[in-house]
Amino acid sequence: MLYEKLKQIKSLEQERMESTRLRVDQLIKPQGSLGKIEEIAIKLSGITGVAMPSLDRHAIIVMCADHGVCDEGIASAPQVVTLLQTLNISKRITGVGTLADPHKTKIYTIDIGVNAELNDPAVFSRKIRMGTGNISRGPAMSRSEAIKALEVGIEIAELAIKEGAKILGTGEMGIGNTTPSTAILSILTGASPYEITGVGANYPIEKLDYKASVIERAITINTPDSKDPLDILSKVGGLDIAGMAGVMIGGAANQVPVVVDGFISTIAALIACALEPNVKSYLFASHASHEKGAKLASTTLGLEPFLNLEMRLGEGSGAALAFNILEAACRMNSDMITFEESGIGVV
């Protein structure tokens, strides 16, 4: 199913984008004066294939999973917080649920690998396994589990779209997940873990070198093939990261835009784009995460975030804030009049 969906992903509809660009240039403003809002509107018409898309209903898909590498003491919070926060996210009482628009944004909370039995009707039960293996001692998961996790992402993306979402956001909850994310970034860019390892959820700065050494060990022991995204994902990745990459693939395959959140989400985007480069055309960056490796990850992905709020929470909290801006870009495209319609004539 994964490969079938990857094949469905087309490049953007260039003719539609050209006609939208023409319209945007004729809107009643100095040409180019709405900057990236104009580019967003043009890209959205290319993604959706619609002249004047509307993004009035949003979904954030939060992938929740545990990370065996927590056994190495690389996280400041105990692993059980993943379980507790998964339940809280489904109740909309955490960061993402309160920042998201209460009337327009639905949150899908997915147990894709929480290390606990979790029977709550508000959480989608799609557990692949009880958290990943400890990557500093062996692989995170098998290759087939990585594929299954990607497919969960695709499935939930398609469910959200079926239920009305015009745009998707990607979020995660997984204590310890900056560690596999930084490992992936190191493999894809060649940067040393010692240069790019950050504090995640307030891990002590004085212990960062230790955290980097665990990441280095994970890479050394697993020897992932840097040209094979599934190999990287299964050996040093995470179920949450795989699920998010799946959401991006699912959105792209269905011509639905997907908002990348912060650091973990950007890493998932790098995996999704390594599997199929056309995925990138369907993505929008939201905020510039304050996590140390975030800037390198964004630069590598090649998408510039437009929100600078020094956030580093994850959960999809930055995506939640970006939706209204993308929606506004659609309104510019559909509701602003042209110089001709105004009777001014182009000035």
Of 128, 184, 233, 311, the one binding a second copy (CB under 8 A) is 311
Residue that the structure tokens 């003719």 belong to: 15
CA of 257: how far to CAs of 226, 235, 281, 299, 338, in Å?
A: 27, 29, 9, 20, 26
Residue 118 interacts with a second copy (CB under 8 A): yes or no = no
* Smaller CB separation from a second copy, 261 or 276: 261
* Residue 315 annotated to the active site: yes
Amino acid at 65: A
> Closest distance between a second copy and the C-beta of residue 157, in Å?
24
3-state secondary structure 210-250: HHHHHHHHHHHHHCCCCCCHHHHHHHHCCHHHHHHHHHHHH
For the record, the structure tokens of 296 come out as 């390198």
Residue 312 interacts with a second copy (CB under 8 A): yes or no = yes
Of 24, 37, 157, 264, the one binding a second copy (CB under 8 A) is 37
Residue that the structure tokens 């079926």 belong to: 162
The residue annotated as part of the active site, out of 4, 315, 327, 340, is 315
Per CB under 8 A, the segment of 5-13, 139-147, 155-163, 321-329 that binds a second copy is: 321-329
Per CB under 8 A, the segment of 34-42, 138-146, 189-197, 268-276 that binds a second copy is: 34-42
> Kind of pairing, strands 167-173 and 258-260?
parallel
Of 6, 34, 59, 267, the one binding a second copy (CB under 8 A) is 34
At 48 the three-state DSSP class reads helix
Residue 15 interacts with a second copy (CB under 8 A): yes or no = no
* Smaller CB separation from a second copy, 1 or 337: 337
* Smaller CB separation from a second copy, 172 or 276: 172
Residue 109 interacts with a second copy (CB under 8 A): yes or no = no
Residue 265 neighbours by CB under 8 Å, 6+ apart: 170, 171, 172, 244, 314, 316, 319
* CA separation for the pair 41, 54 (Å, rounded): 10
What stretches of 49-166 show up as alpha helix (H) in DSSP? 80-90, 95-99, 143-162
Of 11, 14, 119, 308, the one binding a second copy (CB under 8 A) is 308
* Smaller CB separation from a second copy, 98 or 125: 98
Rounded to the nearest 10 degrees, the angle between the axes of helix 143-162 and helix 239-253 is 50
Q: Enumerate the active-site residues.
A: 315
Please give the residue ranges that form the binding site for a second copy (CB under 8 A): 27-37, 76-78, 81, 84-85, 88, 92-95, 97-102, 201-202, 290, 304-313, 317, 320-321, 324-325, 328, 331-332, 334-337, 342-344, 347
